Amino acid sequence: MENILKVALAQISPVWLDKNATLLKIEATISEAAAQNAELVVFGEALLPGYPFWLALTNGAKWDLKINKELHAHYVRNSIQIEAGELANVCALAREYKIAIYLGLMERAKDRGGHSIYASLLYINQEGEIKSIHRKLQPTYDERLTWAPGDGHGLQVHSLKQFTVGGLNCWENWMPLPRAALYGQGENLHVAVWPGSEHNTKDITRFIARESRSYVISVSSLMRKADFPQNTPHLEKLLEESPEVLANGGSCIAGPDGEWILPPVSNKEGLLFQELDFNRVYEERQNFDPVGHYSRPDVTQLSVNRKRQSTVSFSDEE
């Protein structure tokens, strides 16, 4: 049934700032989703190895503060360099189980020197191939103290059965033009990933679905005070300042009519499953299609630069 897609929303916590332990948890979750015949599994923003919650707990904007420098260095060390093959096992699981994956991670990008990190959203297809790496265009508020701004290279969509899937990170989903860039490529299943909490997902998930007449999957992580590992730098200070719950989930799905298929689920760790019927996309596009019959490209058009940005280019003579 090419029009039916079973999706799994992985609402889990990281082993915070521990990439190796978090990878093991992600791999186990992929296997669990595959055992339930899921064809797509989605993980939250920056799940690997976790969101920089310390910035809100340690006076993150204070200049030259040692605790922030040390936590930042620990974060970079536990971020992922894709070129080094650190996701080989994840790709192998996608290939073995024929399951597509959207994974939010911190990317220590080799093509930008390897010292800055990007909140990236990675798509792996059912053959285990990495097909796009979208680096978050604009880190939000205090995220800018530890994340670098990305580029348009990852504004891409992918075929999955009859669906065309695309995704954005967190508050990028509020940006009209990146949304339009995905709509214009035929997106009809939109993936929105978040660090966590229902206050992020409860309004915009339905709004994007109604605007685009597409399915929208919002997937959030969890983070609780108890999730700080014992080997976390400056753990005592973080625990002193931390609330009991830093991110409560709120993962959910809206249908192409903007109504809930799966309302936000909070404070529950694990996989959420749902089957999506592509026919509903065509039904809702009958009266509105933002890049088709209800658009006016003769009046307004969007230009998108998808070139991967780098600081240097080399012309080496043979």
- List the catalytic residues: 45, 136, 170
Work out the burial of residue 273: count CB atoms within 10 Å of its CB; fewer than 13 is exposed, 13-18 middle, 19 or more buried: middle
What does each C-alpha distance from 29 to 9, 70, 148, 270 come to in angstroms? 10, 30, 29, 8
Between CA 82 and CA 80 the distance in angstroms is: 6
What amino acid occupies position 192?
A: A
What does each C-alpha distance from 16 to 52, 80, 147 come to in angstroms? 9, 14, 17
Residues in CB range of 115: below 8 A, 6 or more apart: 76, 108
CA count, 13 A, side-chain hemisphere, 231: 9
Between CA 29 and CA 194 the distance in angstroms is: 18
**What is the distance of C-alpha 232 from the center of its chain?**
24
For 137-195, what is the HEC assignment?
CCCCHHHHHCCCCCCHHHCCCEEECCEEEEEEEHHHHHCHHHHHHHHCCCCCEEEEEEC
Q: Which of 135, 252, 150 is nearest to 200 (CA)?
A: 252
Angle between helices 204-212 and 176-183 (to 10 degrees): 40
| DSSP H/E element including 275 | strand 270-277
Tokens encoding 228:
């700080």
Residues in CB range of 28: below 8 A, 6 or more apart: none
Phi-psi region at 109: left, alpha or beta (left = phi > 0; alpha = psi -120 to 50): beta
